[in-house]
Amino acid sequence: MTIVAFQGEHGAFSEEAIYQHFGRDDVETLPCRSFEDIFAAVEEGRADFGVLPVENAVAGSINKAYDLLLERDLRVWGEIFLHVRHYLMAAPGVELADIRRVRSHPQALAQCERYLMERGWLAIPWYDTAGSAKDLAEHPEPDMAVIASRLAAEIYGLNVLAENIQDLRWNITRFFVIGHGDAPYTDNAKTSLVFAVPHRPGALYHCLGEFARRGINLTKLESRPRRNRPWHYVFYLDFEGHWQDPVCQEALIGLLARAAFVKLLGSYPAAPQPDWAGNGSDRG
């Protein structure tokens, strides 16, 4: 049985991502209070892997996740693209016409803002999407609904009143699977790393040129403040290919010669791109 740690209560979107990637038959999920606790669970051997959200197609990168990947020593073993679909649910017996208030995580409320405003419902921020479902199941209220995943409705016995209520169709969250050591080699690989450059003209240009000259496609490049050096930055970069591929090794050797430091986060199987024509809401 593979044990996988995630942040949140049972029924969280991270748990949906786990089941999408690992299946449901041979996996046990371990809820954690924070991102730091995910890393600790894997580092201490209480979990085999962790699943960590790293960016959202609407909201952008999750900075805390990337900071931890830089600071800690776990490696990326895989990626997951989860199409986040928000469901409106209530206690058994409560109808849509009864709803006056809706509770959920602030981000979920923001992603369904137009849907809520059209109905004049009061949005109430809560600590977690799945947590709001759990709390409502334990303490039903006749005019209260929550926004969470379909998995949360199944786990806590709530009735789904409406589905796909998010304002934007392209609500995709990318997750990393993290673990000890390196993932097995795969031909269909993507590599993630973080690097910093010397403080001189053209430094970033020359670092990126190591990939451009070899025809290596970059799929992500983002800067973040360097936490121990004000007004200095690190760059998170993803590229197509495995670090063991000869052409990728050449680019990395060139990068090492030009950068102030380089940390390889991992090479892992590239996940299939989501169905961008999926059946989410189209109110955006």
Residues that are catalytic: 173, 175
Rg (CA), the chain: 21
- What is the amino acid identity at position 198? P
- DSSP secondary structure letters along 15-32: HHHHHHHH-SSSEEEEEE
Contact, 52 vs 4, CB < 8 A?
no
Burial (CB count <10 Å: 0-12, 13-18, 19+), residue 201? exposed
Q: What is the spatial order of strands in the sheet that 87-90 belongs to?
A: 122-125, 101-104, 144-148, 87-90, 159-163
Tell me the backbone φ, ψ of residue 226, rounded to 5 degrees. Answer: -80, 115
Residue among 20, 24, 26, 73 at smallest CA distance from 51:
20
Contact, 6 vs 12, CB < 8 A?
yes
Residue among 137, 21, 12 at smallest CA distance from 86:
12
